[in-house]
Structure 1
Amino acid sequence: MVAVGADVYVFGNRAMGTLKEERFLQHLFEIQKFRVDVATLSATWEAVKYNAPSMIAGRLGHGTAVLADGRIVCYGGKDVGINSTRYYNDVIVFDPKTLDVTYHPEERDQSASRAYFALAAAGSRLFLNGGCAFAVDGQTMTVMSKSSPLRLLDLTRAVPPRSSRWRDIKFDHVKPINAARLDHSATSPRPPVTPVGLLKRKRSATDSPEAPQKPLKRLDVTTRPGGGGGVATADGDMK
């Protein structure tokens, strides 16, 4: 589920039935839109009739993220059913403005097939961590990403034939910090925010009431990585 403007988009399929006999309400991939109108205090759901070059399989346990240009990316997921061994590694790119879908079919790198992972976007790049899939024997569920904290997919990068879209990100001089995990979340931090204003200088006890005020000092507050910041005083010092 992601928000673009006043709309919230929900990707994937609705399931029904019991846990052992679970099935999708419909087999093709669904996109739903939830819109809140603050002026009228109303909310509406609607099914999005997207334009896709081919049929896309329904799924759950996938990940979605919003790119810098407003398009929404959906990756991976799995088929319905507690005993399902069908995991996906395809990429679905949806443009809310045109309702067009660009579909990147599955690749041979089955290690990229997974569900219940964490996905975040930064610009045109996707960052993936964790998740689960079935092992080679098709019987045992395996939690992913023990070897690398993050995998990277750049949607603008050309991929050679028979090569994986995803690349492992290696961290130099860092002890192994990643534990295998699934059903978690990830987010891309926003750029630093720099609010700028003016700080009025207070009169001191020695100032004459008729004395003109000294020039106002510029107030520059910058949020730094990690949440730190600085505030300029009337004398220009940082505290």
Structure 2
Amino acid sequence: MPLIDGLTTLWDTLMSAQPDPPPLLVVLTAVVALAVVATRMPWRIARNAVTIAHEGGHALVALLTGRRLHGIRLHSDTSGLTLSAGRPTGPGMILTLLAGYVAPSLLGLGGAWLLAGNRITLLLWLAVALLLAMLVMIRNLFGVLSLLVTGGVVLAVSWYTSPEVQAAFAWTSVWFLLLGGVRPVFELHRQRARGRMPQSDADQLARLTPFPALFWVGVFLLVSVGALVVGALLLAGPILTDAGLIG
């Protein structure tokens, strides 16, 4: 049947593994991602992708813990807000608050795992699917535009570009999530030290648990740095293999 044949072809396309990337590509994409994260203006623009992942983390965990998700707002200053209803205390609320700052890093780690298996097409299509799912819950115009632009770029790369361009885009994006997941934690600590974020996720967690806000900032940092280290080892597989360090 044509439908079954089409689904089978689609499945084979998604699950097929692309060739190992050249070690130089792995290094160059890491350098590009680091440059974006470390420099002011590129980071100011690209940080919107980190905000999307941050708010998506809140939203996903809210749904998984049985809370009612009311909507997500993304703002032009790269801040965001996820609104959910349910018990104002308890594990569901704690996990929902905890999910935001660790979501970009954990997404990057998942992406690194897929790239370690050379599942570039699957990674890109999963990214499009997640962005479309999140789009349904966006409640402001800038948020809609952010999701459409980001999803459109990923879709265009996955559909119209060569395998080499797709590989470069995928590796750069995953490196960016891994590196970009760390910087907001330092920004959070700096803003809190200046008294500018009294309602931060860490401060809300401090009010719901016996642990101070600084403890939760440390948890965010531990998870993001841990994901970066493990993700970097996964992404560096071609380099380690080429150097004969792994089989």
TM-score range, shorter chain: under 0.3
Structure with higher strand content: 1
Structure with higher helix content: 2
TM-score, normalisation: structure 2:
0.21
TM-score, normalisation: structure 1:
0.22
- The structure with higher relative contact order (CA 8 Å, sep 6+) is 2
Say which one has the larger Rg.
1
